[in-house]
Amino acid sequence: MAEICQRGMYKTFPRSGKNTSFTHYCPGCGHGIINKLIAEACEELGLQDRTIFVDPVGCGVFTYYYWDAAHISAAHGRASAVATGACRARPDAVTIAYQGDGDLGAIGFNNAFQAASRGENFGCIFVNNSLYGMTGGQMAPTTLEGETTTTTPFGRDPSLTGHPLHVCEVFAQLKAPVYIARVSVADTKRIMQAKQAIRKVFEIQRDRKGYALLEILAPCPTNFKMNALDAAAFCINEMEREFPLGVFREEGRGMGEEERGKGEEERGKGEEASVLSLRPVPHAASCHDLFLEKDAAPAAVDDPSFPERRFKFAGYGGQGILSLGLCIAEAARLERRHTLWFPSYGPEQRGGSANCSVVVSGTPIGSPAVEHPDVLVCMNQPAYERFAGDVKKGGIVIVDETVPVETRPPEGVRLVRWPAIRMAEEFGVPKAANTMMLAALKKLECTGLSDGSLEKSLVASFKKKPALGEKNRELLRKAEQTEF
Ligand SMILES: Cc1ncc(C[n+]2csc(CCOP(=O)(O)OP(=O)(O)O)c2C)c(N)n1
Ligand code: SF4
């Protein structure tokens, strides 16, 4: 493979056992642009040998594969705390913390805020894409009012979940920071401004002037459920309305009255800054959307005679394993059962491992965590090896027939091998392997839910593409004719 030489970056990235020259970011992701700008600034200023990057947990987790400098990985939300240690231990170094908005604005807010208040000698580059990217698009403190995320499927409602957090404006109340600014990477002009601001953060650290915070508005097309152009337009038209671009603190002095006034003016400029005009983001069909409209499924009703069932669905991202779990949860909702769906992801949005837990119960559910499932569905070998030993006695493991079953599940657990992937291919719809697995669950009667609800939920999962819904129903019925 040809090597792409990027300034300040390694020539190739030995990620996941492969030597690639591509990053793991989705097409159109702001992180990809920001990573490149940071690498360039570091190299142009001749600071690579002096720079310590503190890497986050979030979509930016793999920056140590990309930037050719020293790295320390911090636990989620702890980059500013780790950067404090690094810049104190190595005062000669240029220390840069890289954090997402979940990382800095939620779990790590106090770390970051106190470090800024102490005026630690590091630069914090804070990527605000208005949600938790890596874990599948949950609400972050920066989520806009009305914005649809997986945990605000009907739009963020401030009366329930508060208002968006303005990190720059809050940090600008502190005495110590020498530089606080907000930029964006949504178009070329903004990218050039972002580049200058990133250089400034490095220069401040090079000259040991103090704490600097740079917030960068960034598109996340995958979780906005938009193409790259629409995601960039969302950044400009919606995010900037809430988070105006600008400099909130210039070296050593607080934001004066003049600048404060300018900020307010900026806020009102152009389009009207009306909350009402912020429509919920129109998302395309996704495994993360609830299939059923808000009022389609009434609230759960207690029924102690319905035993609790715990499910685990596991495989690679892209195999529809999360949708399959959600299909069961939505079918349970249709039957007014208590239910929870709890997804879990690897760091890569595409092709990484994914699993979800589903609990269906006749009584309120205490915890969404499923450590010992009654039913385990595995689409690949790592999933089988990781979870098969945990299945409850009397439980069942359904595994795709392509998965080598080298170790047996525990005694008293039934193992069923099922040709989900092969059948989907033979039926001419390879993506429907998850529907084939649903057929196995139905045949084995292990959901406790009626055929009608399961089919209705399956069809509803394709609400934006009704023809596909009907096709999948047909394939489901066809697959059920197959003998074990
Ligand atoms: C202590 C801890 N809590 C939660 C998580 C799960 N987690 C990993 S990344 C992430 C959110 C990342 O979102 P953000 O910081 O906004 O970065 P993005 O992926 O959008 O760049 C969460 C909640 C974790 N890894 N560790
Ligand atoms: S999920 Fe979003 S933030 Fe994460 S890599 Fe993809 S586009 Fe970027």
pLDDT tens digits, one per residue of 375-428? 999 999 999 999 999 999 999 999 999 999 988 889 999 999 999 999 999 999
Cβ proximity of 131 and 148 under 8 Å: no
Give dist(CA 212, CA 197) in Å, integer: 10
- Closest ligand, as measured to the CA of 75: 1
Residue nearest to atom 3 of ligand 1 (CA): 76
DSSP β-bridge partners for residue 22? none
**DSSP helix/strand/coil, 202:** helix
Residue nearest to atom 4 of ligand 1 (CA): 76
Residues 226 and 133 in one domain: yes
Tell which of 226, 256, 277 closes a domain.
277
Residue nearest to atom 26 of ligand 1 (CA): 76
Cβ proximity of 341 and 365 under 8 Å: no
Domain CATH for 348: 3.40.920.10
Residues 60 and 185 in one domain: yes
In a domain, 294, yes or no: no
Angle between helices 433-443 and 466-480 (to 10 degrees): 50
In a domain, 227, yes or no: yes
Question: For residue 126, how far is its CA from the centre of ligand 2 (angstroms)?
Answer: 15
In a domain, 292, yes or no: no
Residue type, 71: H
pLDDT greater than 60 at residue 249 = yes
Ligand 2 and 221: CB distance under 6 A: yes
Question: For residue 3, how far is its CA from the centre of ligand 2 (angstroms)?
Answer: 24
pLDDT greater than 50 at residue 256 = no
How many structural domains comprise the chain?
A: 2
Cβ proximity of 59 and 93 under 8 Å: no
Q: What are the two backbone dihedrals, phi and then psi, of residue 331, each rounded to the nearest 5 degrees?
A: -65, -40
Give dist(CA 197, CA 180) in Å, integer: 10
The two three-digit tokens of residue 21, written as one number? 């020259």
Residues 391 and 469 in one domain: yes
In the chain, % of residues over pLDDT 70: 88
In a domain, 297, yes or no: no
Give dist(CA 45, CA 348) in Å, integer: 31
Ligand 1 and 105: CB distance under 6 A: no
Residues 74 and 159 in one domain: yes
pLDDT greater than 60 at residue 452 = yes
Residues 263 and 323 in one domain: no
pLDDT-based confidence at 298, cuts 50/70/90?
Answer: confident
Domain CATH for 181: 3.40.50.970
Q: Strand 51-55 vs strand 94-100: parallel, antiparallel, or unpaired?
A: parallel
The pLDDT of residue 5: 55
- The DSSP H or E segment spanning 257 is helix 257-268
Cβ proximity of 184 and 245 under 8 Å: yes
Give dist(CA 81, CA 92) in Å, integer: 18
Provide the domain limits for residue 322: 309-480
Q: Strand 179-184 vs strand 246-249: parallel, antiparallel, or unpaired?
A: antiparallel
Question: For residue 103, how far is its CA from the centre of ligand 1 (angstroms)?
Answer: 6
Q: Which residue has the tokens 């594969």?
A: 65
Write down the mean pLDDT value for the chain.
89
The pLDDT of residue 224: 97
Residues 36 and 183 in one domain: yes
Residues 152 and 272 in one domain: yes
Nearest CA to 126 among 93, 165, 89?
165
**DSSP helix/strand/coil, 410:** coil
Tell which of 224, 259, 277 closes a domain.
277
Q: Which residue has the tokens 């404006």?
A: 169
**DSSP helix/strand/coil, 119:** coil
Residues 252 and 370 in one domain: no
Ligand 1 and 100: CB distance under 6 A: yes
Question: For residue 135, how far is its CA from the centre of ligand 1 (angstroms)?
Answer: 6
Is the C-alpha dihedral spanning 482, 434, 324, 76 positive or negative? positive
Cβ proximity of 94 and 50 under 8 Å: yes
Give the CA distances from residue 306 to residues 165, 284, 328, 360, 477, in Å, rounded to whole numbers and listed in that order.
Answer: 42, 35, 15, 9, 26
In a domain, 283, yes or no: no
Residues 111 and 38 in one domain: yes
Ligand 1 and 396: CB distance under 6 A: no
pLDDT-based confidence at 17, cuts 50/70/90?
Answer: confident
Question: For residue 39, how far is its CA from the centre of ligand 1 (angstroms)?
Answer: 23
Tell which of 223, 253, 277 closes a domain.
277
DSSP assignment letter at 259: H
Put residue 42 in one of left, alpha, beta given phi > 0 → left and psi -120 to 50 → alpha: alpha
- Closest ligand, as measured to the CA of 349: 2
DSSP β-bridge partners for residue 315? 354
In a domain, 74, yes or no: yes
Ligand 2 and 349: CB distance under 6 A: yes
Residues 243 and 330 in one domain: no
Q: Strand 138-139 vs strand 179-184: parallel, antiparallel, or unpaired?
A: unpaired
Residues 71 and 180 in one domain: yes
Average pLDDT of the segment spanning 202-218: 97
Give the CA distances from residue 189 to residues 148, 183, 214, 317, 361, in Å, rounded to whole numbers and listed in that order.
Answer: 28, 11, 17, 35, 53
pLDDT-based confidence at 349, cuts 50/70/90?
Answer: low
Q: Rounded to an integer, what is the distance from CA 104 to the centroid of its chain?
A: 14
Question: For residue 25, how far is its CA from the centre of ligand 2 (angstroms)?
Answer: 6
DSSP assignment letter at 341: E
Residue nearest to atom 5 of ligand 2 (CA): 25
Cβ proximity of 292 and 334 under 8 Å: yes
- Closest ligand, as measured to the CA of 221: 2
Residue nearest to atom 25 of ligand 1 (CA): 76
In a domain, 98, yes or no: yes
pLDDT greater than 90 at residue 289 = no
The pLDDT of residue 326: 94
Average pLDDT of the segment spanning 237-254: 85
pLDDT greater than 70 at residue 296 = no
Q: Which residue has the tokens 């957090």?
A: 165
DSSP assignment letter at 93: S
Greatest alpha-carbon pair distance for the chain in Å reads 77
pLDDT greater than 50 at residue 148 = yes
Residue 114, Cβ density class (10 Å: 0-12 exposed, 13-18 middle, ≥19 buried): middle
Ligand 1 and 221: CB distance under 6 A: no
In a domain, 287, yes or no: no
pLDDT greater than 90 at residue 163 = yes
Residues 44 and 104 in one domain: yes
The pLDDT of residue 20: 85
